[in-house]
Amino acid sequence: METTRYKIIIQYDGTNFNGFQIQPNGRTVQGEIERVLKIMAKGLEIKIQGSGRTDSGVHALGQVIHFDYPIRMPIENMKRALNSLTTDEIYVQQVEFVSFDFHARYQTTGKKYQYRVDTNPVTDPFKRLYTKHHQYPINLPVLEQALKDIEGTHDFSSFCASNSGREDKVRTVYEASVVEDPEKGELIFTFRGDGFLYNMVRIFIGTLLQIANGRRPADDMKRLLEVKDRRQAGPTAAPQGLYLVEVYYDVEEATRGTRFYQPTVQKTKGE
């Protein structure tokens, strides 16, 4: 027997999960994968480590996990076994062997999230679990400028859930952008940074949408970064529009194409 550490990239539909992280009550992504690994390992408990948690209803296109398995199963066999035993809500995209000093959470150098907003006049029942519906007018140039105000290194206290418990709220956002898909009637926001506080992206969206339809001044993001007061920012947007797209383990990869390259960055925390 040869214990082996695996790094795995997974996708999941978070609709029917109470988030990623295992908890006493409620079905979770971590719990589902550990259930399957226990079957594969003939009753042996195997704990997984994720790059970070996602909340109930949040989806992932590129969540990263690692675990130690009691035998060295070939990569394709591991992928096939996991995909055959997990529910269709989870898909194992990539499997690789890694050294025992690799850690899915503590070695991250950044993450990328996307948030999808449905701007059609009426709610689409087939999008309701995967986008936030927002039928109000959008001033796209104002929205794009507000996003640029987010980029850089700031104290993001105004955009962190009050119960997060984290003292250091300084993070660097490498990219904050939006593209419009007129055919689908959607806005697709992208946020890439060295770390994200609890609910940070969802509070960004709740605030940005108010700026984009004129309920807040165009430059309000600058003011909110200065006041460092969560009570003055917008609401926390619904979870179903949020996607964890990619997790980075290399600084140059995390900062590629941005103006905010840093030789050292903080480990990813929060969402």
C-alpha distances in angstroms, 171 versus 25, 109, 267? 32, 12, 10
pLDDT at residue 263, as a whole number: 46
Catalytic annotation, residues: 55
Residues 93-109: tens digit of each pLDDT: 999 999 999 999 999 99
d(CA 201, CA 48): 25
Token digits of residue 163: 């119960």
> Taking 50 as the threshold, does the pLDDT of residue 268 lie above it?
no
**CATH 3.30.70.580 is right for the domain spanning 4-98:** yes
**CATH 3.30.70.660 is right for the domain spanning 113-245:** yes
Whether 113-245 and 4-98 are alike in CATH topology: the answer is yes
Q: By the 8 A CB rule, do 169 and 199 touch?
A: no
pTM over 0.75: yes
> Taking 80 as the threshold, does the pLDDT of residue 265 lie above it?
no
Collapsing DSSP states into helix, strand and coil, what is residue 42?
coil
Beta-bridge partner residues of 187: 117, 180
Q: How confident is the model at residue 164 (pLDDT cuts 50, 70, 90)?
A: low
d(CA 82, CA 79): 5
d(CA 122, CA 101): 50
Strand positions, DSSP E, the chain: 4-12, 49-50, 59-69, 90-98, 110-118, 132-133, 152-155, 170-181, 186-193, 242-248
Mean pLDDT of all residues belonging to the chain: 93
Q: Where are the domains of the chain?
A: 4-98, 113-245
